[in-house]
Every structure is written in C-alpha cells, then in structure tokens.
DNA sequence: CGGCTGATTGATGACCGTCAATGAAGGTGG
DNA sequence: CCACCTTCATTGACGGTCATCAATCAGCCG
C-alpha cells in the first residue's frame, strides 16, 4: 500500500494518473545553468518546441488530458496536489533540466505552474515513445531519472513525517544550496507560502523560523529573494541528517 | 529540488543511493494472493532463487553494498529510513508482487525487514540487466512500475504534509482495503508503531484514533490483527480525499 | 500461572496552526 | 518621480492537536 503499492493497487484508482516526474539531461548542470537548446549530446534537443511562459502561469492542471511531456530549460516550476478543501502540498520545485509528464496514463496527476518566467520545452508523447524505441539507452536514462525522483521523494517523506519545523527549513535551504553545487548564496524565487506548502508548515512558521535562523547568525536574508548560508555546519546539525 | 531534484542534485550526495522500489508483475493479483513461482507469463520467474524468511528479520540495511534485487512472493516487508537520532520513517509496506532494489547505485538506500514470515526472491542485478537487454518491453514495464511508485510516494507526501491524524489513519485503512480489491476486512500484520512511523504519528495517537473510529462504528477490530471497515463512505469522507 | 511484549488510556504541555495587525516591497498611474 | 494600492512578509497573542511521560491492560508463550 501507499508508497510501495503495486500496479494492482493503482488500477483501482478512480482517476487514472499521469506522472509528472523530473529528469535531468544535464548531469553536470551548475548553478542556475540553463539547458542549451542545440546540445548534440542531448537526445531530446530536437524534439517538440520551446516557449517562454510568464511567472505564475499554469502549465497544466491535475486531471487534464495528458498528451505531452515537458522539460524545464530555464526558470522554476512548482508541482502540487490539492485536497478537495484546498489544502495544498507542493511535490517539488523544478529547475533547468528537470522533466515532467513521464508517466503512462491519460491524465496529469497534479498541477504545474511557473514560479518565475520559465522556458519550457513541450514534447508530444509520441515523439518521446519513438525516441525510446530508437535508443534503448535512452529508456534506461529515463528509468534512472525516475528512480532518482523516487529517492528524492523518499527523503521528502522523512522530512514531512519526522522533522521539526526548524529541521525542515534547514534541510530545505541546504538542498537548494546543494542543487547549486554547494553555493553559499541561494535563490528563493518562490514565496513563503510555497515553501510552507512544500514543507508541511504555514507561512507564519516559515517566516518565524527564518527570522530565528537570521538572529542566530546562521543565515542572512538579502534583497531580491536571495539568501546567504553563513554557517553551513550549524545548519547541517540543525537539519538533523538529510 | 527535493522531490524533483534532478540527477545533478543527487550526484552531490555523500552516500550513493540504491533505490528500493516496488514492482508488481501480477497486475491482477487479488486479495492476499501470492506470486506463483513458475508462472510462464512472469519474465522474472526463472531468475535467482527464493527463500522463506521468518518474521522480524532484516533483509538488508541502509548503506549495505547492493548487488541484488528482491521480490516479495508472499508475506509483508517494511522499508524504512532512519535519522541519526533514531527517528524512523517507514517508506512503505511491500506485499506479494512488489519489488525492491531497482536503482542504479552501489548501496541500499534504506533498510528492509520482514513484518511477517515472508518468501523473498533474490535476483542478482546482473541477471536483471540481462533480462532488460533481452526484452526491451521488460525495461518499459520496470519504468512503468517505478512510475507507479513515484505516484504513490507523492500521495504519501500529501498525507504526511497536509492531513490530520484522523485523516491519515482513515486513508491508510482505505489504502489497505483497496490493495485487497476493496475488501471490507483487512489485515494489519504490522504493529502500531509501524503504522505510526509510516503516517508520521506516535503509537499512542494511532491507538487513540483507532479507538475513536471503533466507538463511532466506522471500524471493528478483530482478533489476529484483522479489522473490518464498517462504513467505507464515512471513512472516505474522513480521509479527506486520497 | 507468571512474565514479557505491545496496546490502550490518562494527564500534561509543547509545538505549531490560527487569527489578526502591522510593516515592507513592488507595481501602476497620476 | 512620487503616491497610492495591492500583495506578501513579519510579528504577536492565543489555542488546538498531537507528542510526551506514565500507568494499566490485554495477549501470548513458555
């Protein structure tokens, strides 16, 4: 059941799912690097077409018919699911190189919205299937990427199920830093409520926790949604193990 | 980042991961059905070898060198991750048909233990790789199964991040029932602390919540770790949307 | 029957959510 | 270019949910 329910379990679902998962075609992508449009080493480069979306735009919604796969070339996207009464859980934030829409069902399983202005490559499923047939190695790459997603999802379960507010925020900041190759200065383009809905907290608690980290000199909050990690070791202690 | 962190992010991890994911080779498996050892429609049937493990046995631990993939043929297994101070998050419970160890890294990412006496098929990675090469369709099946896992993991994030104790327990019970094809009577072979560590609660809260469900006639607790869902609709309301 | 493990129930309080007010920031129009 | 307005972040007061600590209670096995 739950996390490790088998296919059999999902066959009972009322709403067929269309997974939105992430895949990096650029394993060495550094800080804030955008995916290059015509990279010969990128098997996806010539597929579909790209478009720039403004900030706070919906790309697709939970339940929409799913015909395409998407890749983020630059910017940031949030994926979330909502409960009927409006409570929201942000599944993840996507950055350059991440993909969404890799499942095998007829509907999208959650909603995707841009956080910042974002360049998105839209690839029709048929084209992706053709590529998988033509290049078996590519199918493995997809499997490997999905697997990485799953690992990240499991870490997030530990965070949501067993960490305190302070541990959650510290972990989140360290993850952002890691994603940028361990940079001391990180971007926080999303709002407090996005962070809260990702960590299973409220905006007030996120704000209070950041204030506390600020007053204990572990971080410094800069203008323009940027943030400095002043004491990585102390933050790692606070995070209580990834 | 986090759930949708790309490969790039994971490349920074201190401990390489070895995913343990579930895969059902028997999409129509009914209630409590065990996987048949010599099913001709099962491409895995002839691989590796099977062994019965007693209840409460460790199959492998987080950090162990990973050389094999496992499939549960009968019984139940729990997968969990632990924080340094001992807090535990149970990632999922595996039943007949589920697989673990499908990732591409050198170490297991978490610990697997039997809950009940369990028959486990152990398949060396090399054999699985050979099968993937020989049967491209099998590789796709693996991808599809991993994808289903990811979907389940995302549902679990919603549960852990946004649901109340009552909603968590109700959801958990309904999932167990769904997994058995919607049976009214379900098995709870795991202890209260296992349930608690899966739902992000304590044993006391799980116990109190079950007592409340019992006194409001939504469930009935039977001997031998069994449980009756007396009012599925009311439970579904309580669950607050899957 | 006695001892052990796990479940239940109770009392208490901490953490964090809720409600509310203030403050800061960014965008638009005069 | 500044003033206004809207949106979001911050801070405060309070209360509820659930964790913690602790004491039975029930079931199981020798």
- Together in a domain, B172 and B143: no
- Together in a domain, B18 and B84: yes
Cβ of B95 near strand D (distance < 7 A) = no
Weakest mean pLDDT among A28-37, B24-33, B204-213: B24-33
Residues 45-84 of B with CB under 8 A from A: 79, 81, 83-84
Domain boundary among B115, B141, B158: B158
Place of tokens 């009935």: B220
Q: What is the CATH number of the domain that holds B168?
A: 1.10.10.10
Any long-range contacts for B123-126 (C-beta under 8 Å, 24+ apart)? Answer: B123/B44, B123/B47, B123/B48, B123/B68, B123/B69, B123/B70, B123/B71, B124/B48, B124/B67, B124/B68, B124/B69, B125/B66, B125/B67, B125/B68, B125/B69, B125/B101
Averaged pLDDT for residues A80-84: 97
Is the CB of residue A127 less than 8 Å from the CB of residue B128?
A: no
Radius of gyration of chain B (CA): 18
- Together in a domain, B146 and B174: no
- Together in a domain, B33 and B98: yes
Domain boundary among A135, A158, A181: A158
Quick one: DSSP state of residue A20? -
**Nearest protein residue, CA measured to C1' of C16:** A205
- When divided into structural domains, chain A yields a total of 2
How do residues A191-204 score in pLDDT, each as one tens digit?
A: 999 999 999 999 99
- Together in a domain, A172 and A229: yes
How do residues B181-215 score in pLDDT, each as one tens digit?
A: 999 999 999 999 999 999 999 999 999 999 999 99
Is the CB of residue A69 less than 8 Å from the CB of residue A101?
A: yes
Cβ of B204 near strand D (distance < 7 A) = yes
**Residue A29 belongs to domain spanning:** 2-158
How do residues A154-194 score in pLDDT, each as one tens digit?
A: 999 999 999 999 999 999 999 999 999 999 999 999 999 99
pLDDT of A242 reads: 73
Is the CB of residue B207 less than 8 Å from the CB of residue B192?
A: yes
pLDDT of B2 reads: 42
Which residues of chain A have a CB within 8 Å of the CB of B137? Answer: none
Statement: residue B30 has pLDDT above 60 = no
Q: How far apart are CA B187 and CA B177, in angstroms?
A: 9
Place of tokens 């309580």: B238
Q: How far apart are CA A223 and CA A4, in angstroms?
A: 43
Nucleotides of chain D touched by protein CB (<7 A) = 8-13, 17-22, 28
Weakest mean pLDDT among A47-56, B18-27, B232-241: B18-27
- Together in a domain, B62 and B168: no
């Amino acid at each position: 059941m739950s996390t490790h329910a088998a296919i059999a379990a999902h066959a009972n679902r009322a709403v067929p799912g269309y997974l939105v998962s992430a895949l990096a075609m650029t394993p060495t992508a550094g800080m804030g690097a955008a995916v290059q449009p015509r990279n010969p080493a990128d098997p996806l480069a010539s597929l579909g077409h790209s478009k720039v979306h403004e900030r706070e735009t919906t790309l697709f919604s939970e339940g929409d018919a799913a015909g395409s796969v998407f890749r983020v070339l630059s910017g940031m996207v949030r994926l979330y699911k909502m409960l009927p009464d409006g409570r929201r859980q942000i599944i993840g934030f996507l950055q350059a190189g991440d993909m969404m829409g890799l499942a095998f069902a007829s509907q999208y399983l959650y909603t995707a919205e841009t956080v910042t202005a974002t360049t998105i490559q839209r690839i029709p499923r048929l084209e992706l299937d053709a590529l998988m047939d033509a290049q078996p190695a590519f199918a493995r790459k997809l499997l490997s990427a999905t697997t990485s997603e799953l690992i990240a999802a499991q870490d997030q379960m530990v965070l949501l199920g067993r960490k305190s507010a302070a541990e959650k925020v510290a972990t989140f900041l360290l993850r952002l830093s890691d994603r940028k190759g361990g940079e001391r200065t990180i971007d926080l383009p999303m709002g407090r409520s996005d962070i809260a809905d990702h960590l299973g907290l409220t905006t007030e608690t996120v704000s209070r926790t950041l204030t506390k980290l600020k007053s204990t000199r572990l971080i410094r909050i800069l203008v323009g949604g940027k943030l400095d990690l002043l004491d990585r070791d102390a933050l790692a202690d606070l995070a209580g193990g990834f």
